[in-house]
Amino acid sequence: MAGGNAIRGSRVGAGPMGEAERGEAAPRLRISFWCSNGHETRPSFASDAQVPDTWDCPRCGFPAGQDQDNPPDPPRTEPYKTHLAYVRERRSDADGEAILAEALAKLRGEI
């Protein structure tokens, strides 16, 4: 059974809020950023805020700059290297042969 509530179905503060209740909005700047894929992103900044040189593109994740004709280069992704690849960067083949010969000599009991 319904009580005699005249504003049934609404809640306190559900009305439209205007500038009178919220206060005046801060002045904003919308700056365009372009990535190397040609995507444009337009984030808004406070007018007194420092605007960054680059911004991450929300569509592809590449860095975006303010110059449409010369966007920043996408980051280079290095391929996965195995432990053996790192060892080969530090040691030459001759060093590897010497270390292997020493290890085999220890196993055979020659040292």
Per the annotation, does 105 bind a ligand? no
35 assigned binding-site residue: yes
53 contacts 65 by C-beta, under 8 angstroms? yes
Task: Tell whether 46 is in a known binding site.
Answer: no
Contact 38, 65 (CB under 8 A): no
Cα separation, 33 vs 27, in Å, equals 20
State yes or no: 83 annotated in a binding site: no
Cβ atoms of 65 and 72 within 8 Å: the answer is: yes
Give first-to-last CA distance, the chain, whole Å. Answer: 98
Question: Which residues does the annotation place in the binding site?
Answer: 35, 39, 57, 60
Return binding residues for Zn(2+). 35, 39, 57, 60
